């Protein structure tokens, strides 16, 4: 359901890059796990554990950490176009027929009447409505026994660093804390998440979370919360 594309718009010089160190960990109810990746510049060829890393993936990270700070969740940055919203609204209603035991949102939608499901789809597919409820998806929360953490340290040949990190439980692990030498900022830039995921192998700790695997469904949950009273009236 998640089909966001990030286009490489420029080609920054990465000749001064020394390495990228990714630390990703999780703790909570279950076995703690962590992934560490050290990507090093070997005379213009990037390698991790001897394996070559594609240059565009490295450049993508360098581009995104230089982008302007996004202080609030943005429909545009998150790829929430009207076609995307409409397609996913329909997909969620279809999936609810067989996945009601997978998630309570599916269960509630599956049990809805035709008019209730129509209300959900029209609300989910409305960019103005989604813009109103979107901040709820990224409000600070603390789920018991769920402690993700990601830190990416970019080191240049002159010793300067740029660090992006997050311990958020939110979609795409947003927001990111960005530290560029002595300058700190917080950004809801999904492009950073996309870039980090492109450097992580399948199965890496928190990779699914950073990629926003549940984004469409979790957005459905906040939509359902907001339309609850209207939903009941149509029941």
pLDDT per residue as tens digits for the range 106-162:
999 999 999 999 999 999 999 999 999 999 988 855 556 788 999 999 999 989 999
Residues near 205 by Cβ (< 8 Å), separated by ≥ 6? Answer: 24, 25, 26, 33, 34, 35
| Strand partners of residue 166 | 150
pLDDT per residue as tens digits for the range 42-92:
988 999 998 999 999 999 999 999 999 999 999 999 999 999 999 999 999
**Alpha-carbon distance 27 to 65, whole Å?**
27
The DSSP symbol for 203 reads T
What residues does each domain of the chain span?
17-73+143-207, 82-139+215-234
């Amino acid at each position: 359901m998640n089909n966001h594309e990030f286009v490489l718009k420029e080609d920054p010089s990465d000749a001064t890059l020394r390495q990228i160190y990714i630390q990703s960990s999780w703790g909570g109810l279950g076995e703690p796990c962590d992934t560490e990746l050290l990507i090093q510049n070997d005379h213009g060829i990037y390698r991790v554990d001897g394996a070559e890393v594609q240059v565009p993936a490295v450049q993508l990270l360098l581009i995104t950490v230089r982008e302007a700070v996004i202080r609030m969740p943005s429909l545009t940055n998150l790829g929430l176009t009207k076609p995307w919203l409409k397609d996913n609204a329909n997909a969620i209603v279809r999936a609810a027929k067989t996945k009601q035991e997978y998630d309570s949102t599916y269960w509630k939608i599956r049990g809805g009447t035709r008019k209730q499901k129509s209300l959900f789809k029209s609300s989910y597919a409305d960019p103005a409505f989604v813009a109103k409820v979107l901040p709820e998806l990224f409000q600070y929360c603390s789920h018991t026994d769920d402690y993700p953490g990601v830190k990416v340290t970019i080191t240049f040949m002159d010793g300067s660093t740029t660090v992006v990190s997050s311990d958020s439980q939110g979609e795409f692990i947003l927001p990111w804390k960005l530290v560029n030498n002595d300058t700190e900022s917080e950004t809801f830039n999904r492009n950073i998440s996309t870039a980090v995921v492109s450097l992580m192998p399948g199965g890496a700790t928190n990779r699914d979370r950073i990629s926003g695997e549940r984004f469409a469904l979790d957005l459905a949950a906040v939509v359902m919360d907001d339309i609850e009273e209207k939903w009941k009236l149509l029941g």
